[in-house]
Structure 1
Amino acid sequence: MRRPETWTLADVLDFEALVAADERAPDPAAVAARDARLWQEQIAPQLATEETTDRSAVFHRWLAARRTTETLPGTWLTTGWRMLSGGAVLAGLVLGFLVAGGALYYAGARPVNVAVFLAITVGVQWLLLAWSLLVILSRGFRAASQRLLLRIGESIGQWLASALEHLPGPKRLRLRAEAATLRQLAGRNLQLLRWPPWLALQGFGIAWNLGVLAALLARVVFTDVAFGWESTSAQGPEGMHTLARAFATSWTWLFPDACPTLDQVEHSWFHYQSGVAALNRVATASWWPWLVGFILVYGLLPRAALWLYFWTQSRAGLRRLAFDEPRHRAAWYRLTGPVIHSNRPPQEGTSPHDAKSTAPTAARAEAGCLLIDSSLAGARPEIEHWVTAQLGWRLACSEVVEIDYPSGYEAALARLATALPKAPCWLIAVPAPFTAFAAFTQFIARIGQGSGFVLIVALDEQGKPKAPDPEWARYWSDFLRAEATDCATFSYTP
């Protein structure tokens, strides 16, 4: 039995970029022919019987076949994340070492204050972790993450576009177009793209703690340094010893000597009046094992645990990929059916989506609602006349919308929802050619009620409506049938 396909973030982004490019393709027939050829020649022969219905396996092989001839932005973005992660690790090591080295400064007049040292090296991390937890738990985290990722995607796209000036014209334009899709990819893959920044941040934290440990051990091994504690309010060493023992509970079961005793705490209590000469050398040296344990348990370990959690969530998100969005279904149907391409006229056959079989149903409606794509707004009077003359509808609602922008036009859709109870049939006038089929599927899903019809309209050079090419009528009919939308198609006739 074959192992399931393992997707990476670069795979997902490259796949989405290819799907988006196919949605914008000016010749859907050529796209369908290409995918049919890939299926027959490169994909189907490599699939086991049980994999032919597995979208993850099929799409992964489709991606591998397309990558050989395509330049894709997903690899750019993941390479950028790797560079960011590597830079974060390097910066964490250097900064942790330098900051700890400064906090460990000892010239013999005053011992290194363990409380100040931990506040600088570990306490700041706790504050940042508390802030991160507050951000994650806040209701605005998702929206803030989306805005951040969109800005990052746009910035990377702009940087890449400026870096491509030396390339030949056609290749430069193509790469710029791919870079422009980074904003769309960020929005579509928010659940996956939100983890790399957190992984990079935890990588910085892990490296920071390693740098602090390196500075501490280097100072202890190669120099003479004294550790102590200071307090004006303390009446004795008992409180400090109790606090030190409480923090050391996590490691003293394994290293019982890695915590100062009460006597050592007392003889490492620094007073300006007595000076450093009054401190016991063994007592001042007894603090460094405790500091190592504190940094490991309360600094490094939480960072490592968070990194593991975010990495696990990232991998779980990749394993949960379902590829069941409308844009994915369009690609799936091109590869495995049931989109049909034939040379017979569209009026032949008995498809339930053919105009002849659905015209009586549409004509029986006394009232109906009309939605016109904005690209056909100039032909609105002709389209409205066609609907009333050919279908006999009394238009209860007529709105201009963008059918490839499903989240827009709230007011128009609200007016449509108000009119539908009394005029339950609706018709959408769509342009030919048209390529954003996935967005169109989301658009009609928002209507969600009544009987739906699609009127395919082409425009001549003067912007006047004309009959569409029969191939486009067939493509629309096949697509709607594959999507199981129950929408019938009409072709505009002057």
Structure 2
Amino acid sequence: MKNNPDLRWTFSKIMQFEGYRLRDQGQPETALEERDRTLYQKAPLRPSGPREAYAYWVEQRLTQDPIEPDPGKLFSASYGVAVFIMLLTGLISGASITYAALYYDGSVPVNVALFLGVVVLPQLVMLFFLLLTLLLAFAGSAVFAGWYAVPIRLGTWLLQALWGKFGHHIALATENKDDLQSSKRALAEAVEHHRGLFGNRVFRLFQHAGMAFNVGALLCLGALLAFTDRAFGWQSSLTDSAATIHTIVSALALPWSGLFGEGVGYPDLQQIIGSRIVLRESGEALHSYDLLSWWPFLALSVVLYGLVPRLIAWLVSVILESRLLGSLDFSGYHYQSLWRRMLSIELRSAGRPSLHSPESNKPLRETPAPNGTPQEVFVLRESQSRYQDEYLDKWLKQISGFQGHFKTVADVRACATATQGEADVFLVIEGWQPPIEEKLAALTDCADLLQQNKQRLHLLLLGKPTPTGSAPMTDRLTEVWRKKLEQTETSLYVHTDAVDVGRTGT
């Protein structure tokens, strides 16, 4: 067992968690309850809630019972290949579209308006709608999921297809097709229960493609400038005013105008006038240094309006995933069964049989103190009056391994103030009497006070008093105590032959 388990959640750990949950389906509930309760009790640091408890549970299951194929590793491999596919697709498409937009046969210069309209303008439109939908989403609208439903489905299909391919090869290698079906269901469960996280991952996939598209465009532009002769000009049927074009270009170049000024980072008015394409002019009339003044503007437009926004969106996606993972609460009803098993109560009681019973000569089983924990044992004054001190001392030794004499307190809450040091507190409770609300409230308050001092409260259930000691607890009363304690908001810690009642801090 790990001394310092990693309680942080990752996407891979979520997949492993879902895989183990599916594996547990159909297993005997008693065995699952005993296993999960034991894992919870062995945690080196008491988990504050399901989120930490489930992370520890996954870590321990991976150590004790590795799952093959591992859904976490399967997801990482599938997502890695999906990222590669998106990067390659973006790179090729960016270079191809740029090459087509910069086609130059030597007779007519490349129209920069065509390049901007094909490479930059669509990204500006997508950036605008992305910001708009994000703002609406923060305002509480579901428009983001609606508008981006098709890309999300496409990304989900790609991941599921890759998942199936990898899983199929692993299943063939391990000759276990049942594990493959379970692994596929784990992915479906994760998508269903963590739509926000999964949608964010798909969103990130498209940012990889977008960044690669712009890198491909820049690489193609750089290669054409380095190895071929390109001339750039402008023409438009909407306007023939160079001043209007200069105004538009100056506005677009505003983000980098302070670093690369007019005439360097973007053409000035005279360069715009000199690079206007007029079809009736001969090719010789167009040969001018003005025709080379456009390429820095084109390259910087791709960087500022294509690559940088995609990079920012990718970083936002990474930060958002970190926050979503940090806020996992596993509050869905489908996760409650595991939490109930972890907090389940193991009720055991011991009573000395009557001298006339056939079992009178059979000794009670001695149980050592849990984990060697120092103990302070208390008996309520009203209970002490019903049982002999000699019997109680012997019974305590037999049920919890306690050596010494118990202390007497007037009420349950007094245990928290009567104890000294950091010893765990063991309180003898008459289990033959069903717990009433007042007693449950007192137990919870006492456990809270002890928890502040890193102590725990253990309940030792005592059977009905008899002339020779006490009668064993009945199954019906044991079940009554179990249900009553489970209904409280108190976390229950279980040790052999004892019931721990305590609540961890939140």
Report the TM-score when normalising by structure 2. 0.62
Contact 1:206–1:303 (Cα < 8 Å) also in 2: yes
> Distance in 2 between the 1:294 and 1:18 partners?
49
> Distance in 1 between the 2:20 and 2:308 partners?
41
> Distance in 2 between the 1:320 and 1:283 partners?
56
Residue 296 of structure 1: how far off its partner (Å):
1.2
Contact 1:110–1:275 (Cα < 8 Å) also in 2: no
2:87 to 82, 86, 89: 89
Gap change, CA 1:67 and 1:203, over 3 Å in 2: same
> Distance in 1 between the 2:100 and 2:183 partners?
47
Amino acid at match of 2:19: A
Q: What's the secondary structure of 1:295's corresponding residue?
A: helix
> Distance in 1 between the 2:477 and 2:128 partners?
58
Aligned to 1:16: 18
5+ unaligned residues in a row in structure 2: which ranges?
351-430, 437-473, 490-506
RMSD: 3.7
Aligned to 1:64: 59
> Distance in 2 between the 1:279 and 1:20 partners?
71
Q: What's the secondary structure of 1:44's corresponding residue?
A: coil
- Render the CA deviation track for 1:11-58: whole Å, top value 9, x for unaligned: 122223323433x23311111222244345xx524x3xxx54354443
Residue 327 of structure 1: how far off its partner (Å):
4.2
> Distance in 2 between the 1:82 and 1:152 partners?
12
Contact 1:153–1:186 (Cα < 8 Å) also in 2: no
Matches within 5 A, 1:29-428: 29-39=30-40, 43-45=42-44, 47=45, 51-53=46-48, 55-68=50-63, 69-71=66-68, 72-130=70-128, 137=136, 139=142, 141-142=144-145, 145=149, 148=153, 166=172, 171-256=176-261, 257-335=264-342, 337-340=343-346, 342=348, 349-351=432-434
5+ unaligned residues in a row in structure 1: which ranges?
354-469, 486-494
Gap change, CA 1:330 and 1:220, over 3 Å in 2: same
Aligned to 2:392: none
- Render the CA deviation track for 1:126-156: whole Å, top value 9, x for unaligned: 3444565677656465478599488678766
> Distance in 1 between the 2:110 and 2:310 partners?
25
Gap change, CA 1:133 and 1:159, over 3 Å in 2: farther
> Distance in 1 between the 2:483 and 2:327 partners?
27
Amino acid at match of 1:242: T
Gap change, CA 1:475 and 1:270, over 3 Å in 2: farther
Contact 1:157–1:180 (Cα < 8 Å) also in 2: no
> Distance in 1 between the 2:219 and 2:55 partners?
44
> Distance in 2 between the 1:126 and 1:220 partners?
24
Gap change, CA 1:223 and 1:471, over 3 Å in 2: farther
- Render the CA deviation track for 1:339-366: whole Å, top value 9, x for unaligned: 325589xxx845569xxxxxxxxxxxxx
Equivalent pairs, count: 357
> Distance in 1 between the 2:61 and 2:349 partners?
28
> Distance in 2 between the 1:234 and 1:81 partners?
48
Q: What's the secondary structure of 1:225's corresponding residue?
A: coil
Residue 112 of structure 1: how far off its partner (Å):
0.8
Gap change, CA 1:16 and 1:216, over 3 Å in 2: same
> Distance in 1 between the 2:480 and 2:20 partners?
21
Q: What's the secondary structure of 2:67's corresponding residue?
A: coil
Q: What's the secondary structure of 2:43's corresponding residue?
A: helix
Amino acid at match of 1:293: L
- Render the CA deviation track for 1:346-399: whole Å, top value 9, x for unaligned: xx845569xxxxxxxxxxxxxxxxxxxxxxxxxxxxxxxxxxxxxxxxxxxxxx
Q: What's the secondary structure of 1:255's corresponding residue?
A: coil
Residue 163 of structure 1: how far off its partner (Å):
5.0
Contact 2:18–2:186 (Cα < 8 Å) also in 1: no
Which one has the largest radius of gyration? 2
Contact 1:17–1:185 (Cα < 8 Å) also in 2: no
Residue 324 of structure 1: how far off its partner (Å):
3.6
Contact 1:199–1:310 (Cα < 8 Å) also in 2: yes
- Render the CA deviation track for 1:255-301: whole Å, top value 9, x for unaligned: 11211111111110011110332124310111111111111111112
Contact 2:215–2:307 (Cα < 8 Å) also in 1: yes
Aligned to 2:444: none
Aligned to 2:394: none
Residue 250 of structure 1: how far off its partner (Å):
0.9
> Distance in 1 between the 2:299 and 2:21 partners?
52
Amino acid at match of 1:267: G
Amino acid at match of 1:482: E
Gap change, CA 1:91 and 1:213, over 3 Å in 2: same
Contact 2:50–2:330 (Cα < 8 Å) also in 1: yes
Contact 1:97–1:211 (Cα < 8 Å) also in 2: yes
Contact 1:160–1:179 (Cα < 8 Å) also in 2: no
> Distance in 2 between the 1:165 and 1:5 partners?
30
Q: What's the secondary structure of 1:194's corresponding residue?
A: helix
